[in-house]
């Protein structure tokens, strides 16, 4: 046994208990207003079919779009609403209110508000029709990622080297593989599969699944689907270990589930997440390169011998011991 080293940051405790949130009763009257469109078509013309716009908005929930653009909620409010820093102006204290049920936002700082199209207009600084085009393009990425994920999940069970790697990293439970939707990219066959399904080569290049010269981007990688992205961990020591597709990494991993717990364990990597989830800690999330926002009570858990959570469990640690380390950290 060595001296404990600060291996992982783990916030615990009542950081998310916002019963007395300052903004609890803040609710702008414009939110939820059904009076007309919150934006107008170019030069007042009804150039875009209203039904198509409603469909587009339904397919792109505002909060998902915000989070894919690195927005993070910092305070829950009543009725499922959230407060966070405004991505539309230099905000220092959260003044951006989001109502996921109504798919609307309002900023108390810059006074702007509306739906996902209005947000895209302001955020990307484009006109209404360009914002609609951007959102349509963005919506197009999701189906192809879903197909790729499905393909990789089938491959996992056909390649013993992938299963052996997972075993070596402590991933043993089928429930965990299902929960994280883990797959395997052998390389050299995804492109053919997706083009057969009707996805064009330029589209696959744009998403980043296929390289500029037409090869599969992920070769011999364990694949974890994220929000709007896929993370690939290389089996080969000669390749870069971590790869993401271009674009957002999708924020905190499985945050919607983790946030239901009074205290949340934050880890650095998806294999740390996996091992803790498997050991029964379902109040866990993974930072995926995003930073914690202020307003969260964080405590550091020190693991012995320079371990990270994954190597701690793979090296023989158990849930009971890990729980004790969590308790010590909350003292
Ligand atoms: Zn603002």
Domain boundaries, the chain: 16-125, 140-249, 252-328
Residue for token digits 């009257």?
A: 29
**Tell me, what's the pLDDT at 22?**
33
Nearest to 82 by CA among 329, 279, 251: 251
Give the Å distance between the CA of 329 and the centre of ligand 1.
Answer: 37
Strand partners, 294: none
Q: Which CATH architecture has domain 16-125?
A: Alpha-Beta Complex (3.90)
Residue that is written with structure tokens 């349509």 in the block = 136
Q: How far is the CA of 107 from the centre of ligand 1 (A)?
A: 5
pLDDT in tens, 191-211: 999 999 888 898 899 899 999
- Residue 313: pLDDT over 90: yes
Structure confidence at residue 62 (pLDDT): 95
User: What's the 71 CA to ligand 1 centre distance in angstroms?
Assistant: 12
Ligand 1 centroid distance, CA of 40 (Å): 20
Name the residue with tokens 């209203």. Answer: 50
What is the whole-number distance in angstroms between the Cα of residue 124 and the centre of ligand 1? Answer: 14
Given a cut of 60, is residue 1 above it in pLDDT? no
Rounded Cα distance between 176 and 151, Å, is 18
Q: How far is the CA of 91 from the centre of ligand 1 (A)?
A: 7
Euclidean distance between CA atoms 48 and 32, whole angstroms: 23
Nearest to 115 by CA among 227, 68, 47, 128: 128
User: What is the Å distance from ligand 1's center to 113 Cα?
Assistant: 9
* CA of 128 relative to ligand 1 center, distance in Å: 19
Would you say 244 and 230 are in contact if contact means Cβ atoms under 8 Å apart? yes
What is the overall mean pLDDT for the chain? Answer: 83
Question: What is the DSSP-derived secondary structure letter of residue 208?
Answer: T
CA atoms within 13 A on the CB side of 263: 16
Residue 235 tokens, joined: 């089996």
Please check the confidence at residue 290 and state whether its pLDDT lies above 50: yes
**96 CA distance to ligand 1 middle (Å):** 6
pLDDT of 154 above 50: yes
Ligand 1 midpoint to CA 65 (Å) = 17
* pLDDT for 21: 32
Cα of 106 vs centre of ligand 1, distance in Å, is 8
**What is the pairing mode between strands 299-303 and 284-286?**
unpaired
What is the average per-residue pLDDT within 69-77? 88
Torsion (CA) 291, 295, 296, 297 in degrees, nearest 10: 130
Total length of the chain: 331
H or E stretch at 114: strand 113-114
Looking at residue 186, what is its pLDDT?
Answer: 97
CA distance 242 to 234: 7
- Per residue in 108-135, pLDDT tens? 999 999 999 999 999 888 899 989 988 8
> Which has more pLDDT, 65 or 138?
65
| 85 CA to centre of ligand 1 in angstroms | 8
State the distance from the centre of ligand 1 to the C-alpha of 97, rounded, in angstroms. 9
72 alpha carbon to ligand 1 midpoint, in Å?
14
Confidence (pLDDT) at 252: 83
Are residues 107 and 123 in contact, defined by beta-carbon separation less than 8 angstroms?
no
C-alpha of residue 115 to centroid of ligand 1, in Å: 14
CA 90 – ligand 1 centroid, Å = 7
Residue 293 confidence (pLDDT): 58
> What is the three-class DSSP state of 183?
strand
- Taking the centre of ligand 1 as the mean of its atom positions, its distance from the CA of residue 135, in whole angstroms, is 21
How many angstroms is it from 120 CA to the middle of ligand 1? Answer: 14
CA–centroid distance, 286 to ligand 1, in Å, is 28
Of the given ranges (37-41, 121-125, 296-300), which has the lowest mean pLDDT?
Answer: 37-41
pTM over 0.75: no
**Dist. CA 293 → ligand 1 center (Å):** 17
CATH hierarchy code of domain 140-249: 3.90.980.10
Distance CA(136)–CA(60), nearest Å, equals 9
Q: How far is the CA of 213 from the centre of ligand 1 (A)?
A: 42
Ligand 1 centroid to residue 130 C-alpha, Å = 21
Alpha-helical runs (H) found in the chain: 50-59, 62-68, 116-124, 128-156, 160-168, 174-180, 190-196, 201-207, 255-258, 270-278, 309-314, 319-329
pLDDT score at 295:
60
Average pLDDT rounded to a whole number, residues 316-328: 93
- Dist. CA 258 → ligand 1 center (Å): 28
Highest mean pLDDT among 4-8, 62-66, 183-187, 223-227: 183-187
Q: Helices 116-124 and 50-59: crossing angle, nearest 10°? A: 80
């Amino acid at each position: 046994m060595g001296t404990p080293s600060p291996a992982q940051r783990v916030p615990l405790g009542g950081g998310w208990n916002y019963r007395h949130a300052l903004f609890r009763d803040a609710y702008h009257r414009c939110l939820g207003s059904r009076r007309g469109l919150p934006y107008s078509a170019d030069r007042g013309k009804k150039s875009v079919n209203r039904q198509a716009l409603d469909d587009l908005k339904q397919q792109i929930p505002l909060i998902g779009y915000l989070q894919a653009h690195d927005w993070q909620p910092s305070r829950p409010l009543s009725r499922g609403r959230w407060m966070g820093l405004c991505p539309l102006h230099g905000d220092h204290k959260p003044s951006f209110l989001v109502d996921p049920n109504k798919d609307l936002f309002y900023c108390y700082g810059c006074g702007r508000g509306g739906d996902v199209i209005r947000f895209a207009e302001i955020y990307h600084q484009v006109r209404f029709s360009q914002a609609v085009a951007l959102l349509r393009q963005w919506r197009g990425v999701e189906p192809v990622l879903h197909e790729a994920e499905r393909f990789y999940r089938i491959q996992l069970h056909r390649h013993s080297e992938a299963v052996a790697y997972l075993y070596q990293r402590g991933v043993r439970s089928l429930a965990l593989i299902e929960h994280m939707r883990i797959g395997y990219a052998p390389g050299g066959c995804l492109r053919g599969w997706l083009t057969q399904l009707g996805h064009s080569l330029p589209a696959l290049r744009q998403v980043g699944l296929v390289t500029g010269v037409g090869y599969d981007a992920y070769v011999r990688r364990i694949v974890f689907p994220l929000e709007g992205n896929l993370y690939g961990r290389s089996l080969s020591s000669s390749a870069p270990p971590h790869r993401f597709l271009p674009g957002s990494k999708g924020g905190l991993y499985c945050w919607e589930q983790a946030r239901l717990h009074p205290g949340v364990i934050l880890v650095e990597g998806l294999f740390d997440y996996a091992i803790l989830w498997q050991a029964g800690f379902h109040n866990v999330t993974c930072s995926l390169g995003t930073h914690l926002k202020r307003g969260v009570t964080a405590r550091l858990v020190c693991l012995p011998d320079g371990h990270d959570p994954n190597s701690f469990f793979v090296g023989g640690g158990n849930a009971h011991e890990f729980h004790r380390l969590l308790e010590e950290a909350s003292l």
